[in-house]
Amino acid sequence: MDQEIKDIQTKSEVQDEILLAALTLFAEKGYFNTSLIDIKETAGIKAIGTIYQYFKTKQVIAA
């Protein structure tokens, strides 16, 4: 049960992970060479839809 609690992340933690992954990739590859799939994989998110729950577009992430 303790492990289940540790695996649960708050909305702001997930958002922060997405932003950190995106900013890292933008710096390494550039905005136009970074896909949402790249961001998803770098953030360790299982489904691309999770990103859309927090950000409507890649442009919103970069803003």
- Quote the CA–CA distance of 32 and 11 in Å, as a whole number: 27
Query: What is the pTM for the complete model shown?
Result: 0.80
Residue 44 is classified by DSSP as T
Architecture of domain 9-62: Orthogonal Bundle (1.10)
**CA angle, 30 as apex, 15 and 47 as ends, to 5°?**
40
Within 10 angstroms of residue 1's Cβ, the number of other Cβ atoms is: 5
Q: Where are the alpha helices (DSSP H) in 1-63?
A: 2-7, 11-29, 36-43, 48-54, 58-62
Is the pLDDT reported for residue 2 higher than 60? no
Q: Where are the domains of the chain?
A: 9-62
- At 4-62, the pLDDT tens digits run 444 557 888 889 999 999 999 999 999 999 999 999 999 999 999 999 999 999 999 99
